[in-house]
Structure 1
Amino acid sequence: MKIIFYLLSLAPIITVFLLLVIARRPAKQVMPFAYFVTATIAILIWQVPLTVLAASTIEGLVMAADILYIVFGAILLLNVLKASGAISAIRQGLLTISPDRRIQAIIIVWLFGSFLEGASGFGTPAAICSPLLVALGFPALAAVMVALIANSTAVVFGAVGTPVLLGINAGLKGSPLVNNYLVERGITYEAYFKEVIIKIGVLNSIVGTLIPLFMVACLTRYFGRRRSWKEGFAVSKFALFAGLAFTIPCTLTAVFLGAEFPSLMGGLVGLGIVVIAAQKGLFIPQQVWDFPPQEAWEDGWMGSLQIAIGSTQKKMSLLQAWMPYILVGLFLVLSRLPSLPFQELLKTVKVNLPNIFATDITVSSQPLYLPGTIFILVVILTYFLHRLTFPALKQSVTEAIKTLSGTTLVLATAVPMARVFINSGFNESGLLGMPLTLADGASNLAGQVWPLFAPAIGAIGSFIAGSATVSNMMFSLFQLGVAQDINVSGTVVLALQAMGGAAGNMICVANVVAASATVGLSGCEGLLIRRFLLPLSYYVIGSGILGLVAIYGFKVV
């Protein structure tokens, strides 16, 4: 009987995968149907009350509105910079560093994007970097692909450590299972949690260092004249150098300072090192790689975001052109440092819906704290800094709204579907919720080799929930329980959960839809997810093998 429940808990994921990835149906058709399938299973099999279903749907709609707000702000900022001429100046500046598209992608999405992830999270890196790459002359499809592949390694610590400090911590702290384990080992929770942070920092960096190489290999394979993996591997020295430039300071920060700033410091330090190296031509191949001429681009490569990259309204210095993005990074950092008053101030404005329909489900949104507010603030400042005309600003707003028009339905069904799946634990059947039922089935099959499969559970959690933080909340206690059952290192298994959650970020439907919306793409979600399967498989399988080696080879406890 248990196998039936395992398979039914897998049904929502299989539905999305089959229709989106295999059948290649657009997300605007797939996600409403997936919501219907998930809701039906929740009601008929898990006996989830209709009040819980309705509350979960409302929770999902509020979360979808938050995502749309962030994406709107990112598109609006890009449109304003396009209108002011800043984008052309930024493009010329990057061309002076290197005209090679592989180098540009590494600098923008791997390093600048990782800094943004460390400062903000919430899908900000892909929302900013995808349209910026389009402005530099990348096909829209290529821009979204590399932005989401790169937005994986830094997600493990995310915005000021949220996936670890909120995700894993909330999943573990106060549990009798954890408390008994700590008593047996004779250590405090704080000391144990520090071990988890260090294991995450070290293991994730080993796997994550190769992500820039995977990213540029996918870029040349799918968007080059020769469709060649080899052209991507030709820049392997620079890609590995850029990988280490991020992962080494990221690891050192995790080991010595904690979980708050590894991604931010890795991105910031790495960006400085790699830009200087690129300017000096270090590790850069002699042969410059570029896309085919635009007239040779395939149907579906371009989105509705069109930018005339060859024209500017006025001459602009590089510092003035980059200033809005510098301000975004600065404001994000200042607004998220707990030692400063801005975080609490921005969080005072709340939209709270407690215990919806008398359930245990509570919806909360803090609109001023969302990155979308910072984007809009920077847009207002840019209006004056770049001396933009009011008609140009109005046109930028109109274009941003138009770009989002095809995305609303997808997010309005994808996020509620995820919340129904997650909240299925509030039921009258006595069953575990669908996520834990799924994980329990996998652990029963895996036995002693569970560390090999632990990252996959984290990735599935992110795929469904749209968040590495939520994935860690859902599965951390379960992962520790399995580790104790098979008598292996709980800290390593928890690290594998976090790494899988970070990797799953690249295939999360909500992230793919949101990033695609910033460049005006729709209907390409399945194609993108198919192209993410190779780097995702590397990350998940590589993490699992590394976990097995650490546990059974090096006897890590």
Structure 2
Amino acid sequence: MNTYLLAFLAFLPILVAMFLLVGLGWGARQAMPVGYVVVFIVGIVIWKMSLTTVLAATIQGLWIAATLLWIIFGALLLLATLKHSGAIATIRAGFMKISPDRRIQAIIVGFLFGSFIEGASGFGTPAAIVGPLLLALGFPAFAAVIVGMVTQSMPVTFGAVGTPILVGVNTGLTGAAVVEAHAKSLGLTWPQYLASIGARAGIFHAIIGFVMPLIICMMLTRFFGKNKSWKEGLEVWPFALFAGIVFAIPYVLLANFVGPEFPSMISGLLAVGITSFAASKGFLQPKKVWDFPPEKEWEPGWMGTVSGDPGQVRANMSLIKAWIPYVLVGLFLLLTRMNPGLKGALTKITINHLNILGTSISHKWEWVYSPGAVISFVAIITWLLYQMKGEEIKAALKESSGQLVNASTALIFTVPMVRIFIMSNLNNSGLESMPILLARAVADAVGGAWPAFAAVIGALGAMIAGSNTISNMTFSLFQWSVADFIGVSQRLVVAIQAVGGAAGNMICVHNAVAAAAVVGMIGKEGLILRRTFLPTIYYLAAVGIYGMIAIYVLGLQ
């Protein structure tokens, strides 16, 4: 069968799902079962996967969905706990004192605080935490989700303490003799070689990503403002670019001189402190405060089923005390990922499913190490810290559990579809896996212009798999090989892959479902992805242009 026809068939399940989600505006609960059926048929009929293998991949997908739901539950429980304790009302009042301007709040709470959470935890956690917090600050649910989703761009390559590089790229390239020989020829150890790829990705991100806070502001005013104006978002450009630069400078320095573990986490934390202080002093603040229209004028599609009402401020609830749970989330995530002894102890507690249905497909769930466990643990601590009453705790549990059910119906088809797609290398046809075959077809079509398109493959991998780490794991060797074949810098092309994989998180169905769930917008994932396609297109076009310049004009290696 013709290679391009096979590539089209490999892409068909994704194409169908995205058409239903974005083109027709279906919810994930309706669209993803159709995508699952398509990949099921293509896998068995074209790739000649056995029924047992397809079912094993499906079961693996269901377990992975459970791991995502565990994170979502933690975020929902913490939000409900803070709401019923009165802490959210206090936090909202505090941010209003820093700046009542919604654009400034989106930058500090959404992009910068979200970047810190991404750096510490990753795996979609920022959208699950930032969305509810913005909702409680008075943002429409739709706007809160958009901010949380777009935040998952620049910080993602160094998310989860550098996992996309240290695990994704590392696993993707390890064992390839030609790559290891190349590293030695440069006089680099393997950890140094990996770090050099991360350093290049960091420079790419800084050059094209420091404008993301401004893009977030422009999207807010255009899609959720009374005047539907891009210009009102541009009015905050001095502070938005200041915030982007404050984040980008330590980000690049850490990526180049320390390693992949810290750029997003430390830069996010530093930037939150600096910009909060600057905003409170009126530094670079816009002359006119921007806010959403009165709630009674909001469009029905802006609202979710989770109430944004922060409740009443408790008389004894100081701003510092109200923030303690979020501080604990960041602290515990940091400790569990940076302390080798604690990390080792937690990762030993697993739920294992080895050789599912007698195949080579397995799954290991480190459920205690998961961000979901950390966030849930903080929620329980919060019950004690705030001396919450039994009825308040019960209300928080009931509210969070109810929202979790809505999220589960979408994920139980989304993740299995992805797993069949990725595990399609286990077949009787002799074909490569669907994602690899699809990538090769694209590379064959564009030749020397590959650096302009490499990020698209990374984004496609992240969109499908729900993870920059998995995208890098799947495509790093392929990207390296294409670069070697066309005679350009292999490390730069793999770095472009990592940047593209980060951008793909903005249009990842998994993340859209998770973000929608925590603000009560299940069923509107297609509408969310329509909006997040805009910044994704910018990111991929920008990294493609800069990649071509870096390689063919500047001659960087």
TM-score (norm 2): 0.98
Structure 1, 358-367 or 31-40: larger mean CA deviation: 358-367
Counterpart of 1:441, as a letter, is A
Question: Does the 8 A contact of 2:165 with 2:194 survive in 1?
Answer: no
- Measure the CA separation in 2 of the matches of 1:168 and 1:404: 33
Alignment of 1:129-168 (within 5 A): 129-168=130-169
Cα displacement string for residues 314-337 of structure 1 (whole angstroms, at most 9, x for unaligned residues): 341001000011111111100101
Contact 1:153 1:503 in 2 (8 A): yes
Deviation digits for residues 385-422 of structure 1 (CA, Å, limit 9, x no counterpart): 11110111011101111112222111000011001000
Partner of 1:466: 466
Which AA in structure 1 matches 2:190?
Y
Closer, same or farther: CA 182–309 of 1 in aligned 2, 3 Å:
closer
Distance (Å, rounded) in 1 between the aligned partners of 2:530 and 2:280: 35
Q: Is the 2:84–2:311 Cα contact (8 Å) retained in structure 1? A: no
Residue 384 of structure 1: aligned partner: 384
Instruction: Measure, in 1, the Cα distance between the counterparts of 2:435 and 2:311.
Output: 50
1:262-273 maps to which residues of 2 (within 5 A)?
A: 262-273=263-274
Query: How far has the Cα of 1:338 moved from its partner?
Result: 4.1
| CA offsets 1:421-477 (integer angstroms, 9 cap, x no match) | 000011110111000011001101111110000000000000000000000000000
SS in 2 for 1:352: strand
Quick check: 2:40–2:420 contact (8 Å CA) kept in 1? yes
Using the TM superposition, give the Cα deviation of residue 310 of structure 1 relative to its aligned residue in structure 2, in angstroms.
5.7
Match of residue 441 from structure 2: 441
Q: 1:330 corresponds to which residue?
A: 331
Q: Which residue of 2 aligns with 1:73?
A: 74
SS in 1 for 2:506: coil
Farther off after superposition, 166-175 or 352-361: 352-361
1:539 is matched with 539
Counterparts of 2:85 and 2:293, CA distance in 1: 28
Counterpart in the other structure of 2:127: 126
Q: Which residue matches 1:37?
A: 38
Question: How far is 1:176 from its partner?
Answer: 2.4
Deviation at 1:485, TM superposition (A): 0.6
State the 1:194 CA deviation.
2.8
Kindly provide the amino acid, as one letter, of the partner of residue 345 in structure 2: L
| The 10-residue stretch of structure 1 (173-182 or 156-165) with the greater mean CA deviation from structure 2 | 173-182
Q: 1:181 — aligned with what?
A: 182
For the residue of structure 1 that corresponds to 2:364, the secondary structure is strand
SS in 1 for 2:352: strand
Which SS does the other structure have where 1:360 is aligned?
Answer: coil
Residue number in structure 1 paired with 2:309: 308
Cα 1:286–1:53 shift into 2, 3 Å: same
For 2:454, the aligned partner's letter is A
Classify the secondary structure of the residue corresponding to 1:427.
Answer: coil
Which residue is 2:101 aligned to? 100
Which whole-Å CA distance do the structure 2 matches of 1:330 and 1:461 have between them?
31
- 1:60 maps onto 2:33 in alignment: no
Offset at residue 188 of structure 1 (A) = 4.0
**What is the aligned partner in structure 2 of residue 249 from structure 1?**
250
| Cα distance in 1, alignment partners of residues 308 and 14 from structure 2 | 37
Specify the code of the residue in structure 2 equivalent to 1:149: V
The residue correspondences of 1:400-549 to structure 2 (distance < 5 A) are 400-549=400-549
Q: What is the identity, as a one-letter code, of the residue corresponding to 2:137?
A: L
The percent of aligned pairs where both chains have the same amino acid is: 48
What is the CA deviation profile of residues 135-158 of structure 1, one whole-angstrom value per residue up to 9, with x for unaligned ones?
010000000001110121100111
Question: Deviation of residue 309 (structure 1)?
Answer: 3.2
What CA distance in whole angstroms lies between the structure 2 residues aligned with 1:343 and 1:195? Answer: 26
> Secondary structure of the residue that 1:364 maps to in structure 2?
strand
Give the letter aligned to residue 472 of structure 1.
Answer: N
In structure 2, the CA distance between the partners of 1:262 and 1:186, relative to structure 1 (3 Å rule), is closer
Residue 500 of structure 1 and its aligned partner are, at CA, apart by 0.4
Q: Tell me the alpha carbon deviations over residues 4-44 of structure 1, each in whole angstroms, 9 at most, x when there is no partner.
A: 10111111111111111001111111001100101110110
Separation in structure 2 between the aligned mates of residue 276 and residue 169 of structure 1, nearest angstrom: 39
Q: How much does 1:532 deviate?
A: 0.9
Deviation at 1:247?
1.3
Displacement of 1:354 in angstroms is 1.2
Letter in 2 for 1:499: V
Contact kept? 1:177, 1:481, Cα under 8 Å = no
How many Å apart are 1:249 and its aligned residue?
0.7
The answer (yes or no) to whether the contact 2:458–2:471 under 8 Å persists in 1 is yes
**What is the CA-CA distance between 1:207 and the residue it aligns to?**
1.1
Change (3 A) 1:271 1:545: same
Give, in whole Å, the separation in 2 of the partners of 1:289 and 1:315: 31
Contact 2:86/2:311, CA 8 A, preserved across alignment: no
- How far is 1:183 from its partner? 5.5
How many angstroms apart in 2 are the aligned matches of 1:8 and 1:167? 26
- Given that 1:109 and 1:151 are in contact with CA atoms closer than 8 Å, whether structure 2 keeps it comes out as no
| Long gaps (5+) in structure 2 | none
2:198 corresponding residue in structure 1: 197
Counterpart CA distance in 2 for 1:473 and 1:226 is 44
The answer to whether the Cα contact below 8 Å between 2:119 and 2:263 also exists between their aligned partners in 1 is yes
Distance 1:186 1:82, change over 3 A: closer
Q: Secondary structure at the match of 2:406?
A: coil
**342-351 or 416-425, larger mean C-alpha shift:** 342-351
Amino acid at match of 2:306: L
Q: Which runs of 5+ in 1 are unaligned?
A: none
Equivalent pair of 1:332/1:371 in contact (CA under 8 Å)? yes
Does the 8 Å contact 1:221/1:232 carry over to 2? yes
Q: Which residue identity lines up with residue 102 of structure 2 in the other structure?
A: R
Partner of 2:344: 344
For the Cα contact (< 8 Å) 2:169–2:194, is it kept in 1?
A: no
CA distance in 2, matches of 1:88, 1:195: 45
Deviations along 1:88-130, whole A, 9 cap, x unmatched?
Answer: 1101100110000000011011111100011111211111110
> Contact conserved, 1:246 with 1:266, CA < 8 A, in 2?
yes
Structural RMSD (CA): 1.2
- Contact 1:452–1:544 under 8 Å retained in 2: yes
Distance 1:119 1:186, change over 3 A: closer
Partner SS state of residue 368, structure 2: helix
